[in-house]
Amino acid sequence: MDDTKKIAGVGPINIRDEGTWPGIDSRFRLIVVSALRSKQLQRGALPRITPDPLKRRNTSIALEEVKQGLVPFTVTFEDPKDNGSGNGNQMGIDEVD
């Protein structure tokens, strides 16, 4: 028999239910916003939540902050002809710290 206990909340994040992710309308947006927030944490920004001792990594903290709607971000749309890159939108996290 397998006596290992499964700990709730540890493991892959379930992003299928987009209703639980405020302001997140796609997996791409979730990854970009979380990555930008994780980078802020890595550079010394303070977490906006009390980190779970089991989730000490910046990526886990950033994902939880995004899930709780604590990471304000903006999406700007630009004319692709103006910037020459062919990418018509950019995303950034609002600096609130």
Domain count, the chain: 1
**Amino acid 97: pLDDT:** 46
Which residues form the domain of 65? 22-93
Report pLDDT digits (tens) over 84-97.
555 555 666 666 54
What is the rounded CA–CA span in Å between residue 62 and residue 32? 11
Per-residue DSSP letter, 18: G
Kindly state whether residue 51 falls inside one of the protein's structural domains.
yes
Whole-model pTM over 0.75:
no
Kindly state whether residue 3 falls inside one of the protein's structural domains.
no
Report pLDDT digits (tens) over 74-87.
888 776 666 555 55
Q: Are 88 and 80 in contact (CB under 8 A)?
A: yes
Kindly state whether residue 31 falls inside one of the protein's structural domains.
yes
